[in-house]
Amino acid sequence: MTQSENPMRLRLTLAVIGAIAGFFFWMLFEHLPDVISDQRLLMLLAAFIGSLFGGLLLMVGRLGLRAAARYAVGIALVSSLLLYWASFRFLDVSTFFDSIHPVFALIVLAHLPLPFAMAQETAPGGWLDYEGLFDHAWSILVRTITAWGFTGLFWLVIFLSDQLLELVGFEYLGEFVDHYWVSMPLTGIVVGLAMAVLNELKTVVSTLRRLALQLLRLLLPLVAVVVALFIVLVPFRGLEQVFGSLSAAGTMLAMAAGAVTLITSAVDARDGDAAHSRVMVMSAKALSVLLPIIAGISVYAIWVRVGQYGWTPARIAAGLTSLVVLAYALTYASSVLVGFAWRQRIRLANTWMAVSVIALSVLWLSPVLNVERISANNHLARFDDGRISVAELDVWRLGDDWGIAGQAALARIRQIKDHPSQVALSDKLARFDQGESRWSFEHDRGGSENTKDVARLKTILPVGPAGQLIPDGALEEIPRVTVGRILASCENQLVDGRPGCAAVIGSFSRAKEEHSVVLFWRSSSAAKTEIIVLDQVNVTGKFRYKRSVFSIGGDAEAQPAEELIAAVQNGDFRFAPARMDAVEINNIQILPRR
């Protein structure tokens, strides 16, 4: 009798594996830091242990201990060593993990190969057998969620039991499990036992998988209608919000990724289990054909965004994700348009796209896709050729966020001695060297750089009503980083050639003794409107900076910047009574937050 066919032996095996995993993590966090000072080595051990024991818990029940160990060791070794290699992009591990994206790459490398390994050992067609891949992938998802859900329930019962026993003076249970050398191995034991029981109940896991797929299919017609409606309305609404916003592109990517999941659920692992109702088949085909449009728009939106502001690790990740989604979309659409065996074509595409994602994750942690180096070099190149000014130069990202590559780019910037704005550049570098926090650096209102930017802003900022002038001392209250963003928006002209910013001067007070300056400009993260208020504190002329406003009759900051700024410059506004006077534009009243 094999291990997987002997329930008690499997339970004992997985419980021991879970206990050993918990013990190693306890040692890793509690004792090894006192013995090993190298943080990279500790990170390597943590990644290896997590990947190894996670793979064992998921595969032993299906493959047996020996085969599972062979694959789990290989996968854990490759993924943890790649993570270790990538960490040398930074001087220390904590800064490396602040960037977040290596963790996601590690998760992909540690989990996505598991279905391939399991299919290789169990499926007739080996590691490319789609039925085996599909079944194992969904089984892993169902078993992981269920096992950890049960573990959470176990600890809830322990907590309630401890609270109940404390009522009669028995406090030993809580004191016992409060020790990490107890709680962490115990958590591993519970997870292992849950995995073993779920492996015994293969029919239950299969039923849960079928239930999840059937529920997902119910969303397919709705998503198909929504995507079609979006595509129809985009030309009428305008593309500014789509092409000018990384968040809008992210929304489209998330919707496209969800659509891929829904189509996959309808196609299933085999034709006999696939959705066959007319509504579902039509919805799956229609969504497959429409998918390249929404994926293509998201790719172009990110491309436009990169053209405006350059590469960053987040934009590189978004760009690669959009290309992966577009590849899915094109293969799905071509499969449907070809006509025959369209489900089989989609299954084949899913297999090779999964392999591509694994390969992309390997490249992400390798020097080939050193996103910090790419971002730093791009930022430096944009500064060298004048596409970004000193005000827009992000020395904090270069010096703190983008590792060794960013610091190398910053060192090259320090060598510049003949920049047209050399005084401002030297001032910015000097403030960075003072070791201030990023927040204080960006919100500082002093320095020659800010004085020069404020002076320039006064010369190009359109002010209404006609004939009004910006009061002395008002713009000086705006943080330097915000001044730079307003300047950049002003210089990025509207379609009609006017500056991409505007200001309104008036009073929110019925007494009309204290004036306010309301500034409008394009958001740096979307084609929406940024609004600030400079409120006069008293008649002596001192102003107070207010970062946000609230609106009556609609969300002013959600309005397209082009429309709102043009309306202000056209004079289409007035100070109108609410509970206090407000700026009224397009029937929306805007007031400063008190």
Give the pLDDT band of residue 36 (cuts 50, 70, 90): confident
> Rounded to whole angstroms, how far apart are CA atoms 480 and 444?
6
Instruction: Convert the pLDDT of each residue in 7-22 to its tens digit.
Output: 889 999 999 999 999 9
Instruction: Convert the pLDDT of each residue in 202-246 to its tens digit.
Output: 888 888 888 989 999 999 999 999 999 988 887 776 555 555 555
Instruction: Convert the pLDDT of each residue in 143-183 to its tens digit.
Output: 999 999 999 999 999 999 988 888 888 888 888 888 888 89
pLDDT over 70 at 524, yes or no: no
The answer to whether the beta carbons of residues 342 and 336 sit under 8 Å apart is yes
> Rounded to whole angstroms, how far apart are CA atoms 577 and 575?
7
Cα–Cα nearest to 51, from 128, 91, 110: 110
For the segment 447-457, the average pLDDT, to the nearest whole number, is: 74
> Rounded to whole angstroms, how far apart are CA atoms 493 and 522?
10
pLDDT over 60 at 125, yes or no: yes
> Rounded to whole angstroms, how far apart are CA atoms 332 and 88?
39
pLDDT at 502: 92
Instruction: Convert the pLDDT of each residue in 61-73 to its tens digit.
Output: 999 999 999 999 9
Decide: residue 403, CB within 10 A, 0-12 exposed, 13-18 middle, 19+ buried: buried
Find tokens 């989609």 and name the residue. 346
pLDDT at 391: 77
Choice between 76 and 513, residue whose per-residue pLDDT is larger:
76
What is the distance between the terminal CA atoms of the chain, rounded to a whole angstrom? 75
pLDDT at 449: 60
pLDDT at 1: 43
Report strand pairing: 463-464 vs 501-506. parallel
For residue 67, what are its two tokens? 């085969």
Interacting residues of 507 by C-beta distance below 8 A, sequence separation 6+? 513, 514, 515, 516, 575, 581
Mean pLDDT of the chain: 86
Cis ω before 465 (30° cut-off from 0): yes
Map residue 420 onto helix, strand or coil: coil
CA 110-52-363 angle, to 5 degrees, is 30
In this structure, how many other beta carbons lie within 10 angstroms of the beta carbon of residue 507? 16
pTM: 0.78
> Rounded to whole angstroms, how far apart are CA atoms 492 and 479?
20
For residue 571, what are its two tokens? 């004079």
Instruction: Convert the pLDDT of each residue in 372-425 to its tens digit.
Output: 999 999 999 999 888 888 878 888 888 888 999 999 999 999 998 888 888 878
> Rounded to whole angstroms, how far apart are CA atoms 136 and 129?
11
For residue 145, what are its two tokens? 């969620």
pLDDT over 50 at 2, yes or no: no
The answer to whether the beta carbons of residues 560 and 241 sit under 8 Å apart is yes
Instruction: Report the run of H or E that residue 549 belongs to, with start and end.
Output: strand 549-552
The answer to whether the beta carbons of residues 425 and 414 sit under 8 Å apart is no
Q: What percentage of residues in the chain have a pLDDT greater than 90?
A: 43
pLDDT over 50 at 578, yes or no: yes
> Rounded to whole angstroms, how far apart are CA atoms 476 and 542?
10
For 331-368, give the secondary structure using H, E and C: HHHHHHHHCCCHHHHHHHHHHHHHHHHHHHHHHHCCHH
Cα–Cα nearest to 260, from 224, 226, 314, 234: 224
Report strand pairing: 543-546 vs 549-552. unpaired
pLDDT at 447: 55
> Rounded to whole angstroms, how far apart are CA atoms 32 and 246?
42
The answer to whether the beta carbons of residues 406 and 399 sit under 8 Å apart is yes
pLDDT at 417: 86
For residue 241, what are its two tokens? 């919000």
> Rounded to whole angstroms, how far apart are CA atoms 237 and 433?
47
By mean pLDDT, which of 24-38, 331-345, 469-483 is the weakest?
Answer: 469-483
In this structure, how many other beta carbons lie within 10 angstroms of the beta carbon of residue 470? 17
